Amino acid sequence: MSSLSRLWSKLPTISEKMYRRLALWNLIGLGLLIVSGGAVRLTASGLGCPQWPSCGQSNFVGELSTHKEIEFGNRILSTVVSIFIALTVIAAFRLAPKRDDLKRGALAVLAGILLQIIMGGLVVKYHLWPPLVMLHFLLSELLVGVGMYLHWRIDNPLGFSNPMVGRKFIVLVRGLIISTGILMLLGTATSGAGPHGGSRGSKRLPVSFRGISEAHATFAAYLIGLIVATLFACWIGNVALPVIKRAKLLLGMALLQAAIGYSQYFLKDPASIVIFHLVGATLLLIFVLNLYFGLFSNRNPQDQDLSRY
């Protein structure tokens, strides 16, 4: 047996309870990366470190300045989260009992964070080109979704094979997820046309800021209407109370996010409100996925009061 194999065999086994905590910290770290990236953009620190992965021509960190500290701090956080995710992958292979589904989930999160790091380098290399910045943000949100799936899957080894509701309701909630993604795309386009480009003099999307903002607001109203329709479907379909509670939480989050968005627009896009809107977008994604995951159970269908919808 090689020394590496002996070292691997000496690693402690991990319980599902401990792994659940690791997955939760992964999810928190991924969320903090979005906030950190938003702080970089809103303080015009996107090119505080003009090179990647170094922060200067000859120094890894570079000379101290506010913009450099903010940008390099974001990179340090990315590195810490990446290391933690790598440890979570190792833990997935040391689980007792063995769970192949968790191995695949952990590897997907690791692949996503590595792709995100590469994307960050491209954003710097191409001087905050708006389409790349938009993709960078959307990939961050997608990664949060994958991280949330990994955390949910620990207690749901059956995955999506055991629904508590009817097929029509599942399709309706999938429509909510797709609509949330479209809303985020419009939101990133609004940011790409707005005043916060991540650096002074950075290029902006060649579209009307007012026009794209109104399109974003209109689609937000559509999403809220769709959530209300989902709640109505809950009531007429005799859906379980926990699902109704999750739908109500989603509606509340959507209304709060809309209020923040309108405040941001009428107050001329101040950075102090934009950061709350950014956090709200992430929470909106978490809430809609929380609703979707709540439609499935690890228990036997015969032991549940299934929806008639």
DSSP state of 302: G
Alpha carbon distance 72, 74 (integer Å): 5
Alpha carbon distance 217, 233 (integer Å): 24
DSSP state of 303: G
Structure tokens at 207: 């579209």
How far, CA to CA in Å, does 194 sit from each of 5, 38, 223, 268? Answer: 54, 14, 23, 10
How far, CA to CA in Å, does 291 sit from each of 63, 141, 148, 165, 270? Answer: 47, 17, 12, 12, 32
Alpha carbon distance 209, 140 (integer Å): 23
14 beta partners: 95
Task: For the beta carbon of residue 299, count every other beta carbon within 10 angstroms.
Answer: 11
**In terms of C-beta density within 10 A (0-12 exposed, 13-18 middle, 19 or more buried), how is residue 58 classed?**
exposed
How far, CA to CA in Å, does 167 sit from each of 151, 153, 160, 162, 237? Answer: 24, 21, 12, 11, 12
pLDDT computed for residue 48 by the predictor: 63
Q: What is the pLDDT along the chain (309 residues), one digit of tens a residue?
A: 567 677 767 778 888 899 999 999 999 999 999 988 888 877 777 666 666 556 655 444 444 447 677 777 888 888 899 999 999 999 999 988 889 999 999 999 999 999 998 988 888 888 888 899 899 999 999 999 999 999 999 999 888 988 989 899 999 999 999 999 999 999 999 988 877 766 666 778 888 888 999 999 999 999 999 999 999 999 888 888 999 999 999 999 999 999 999 888 888 878 888 889 999 999 999 999 999 999 997 654 444 443 333
Alpha carbon distance 70, 170 (integer Å): 42
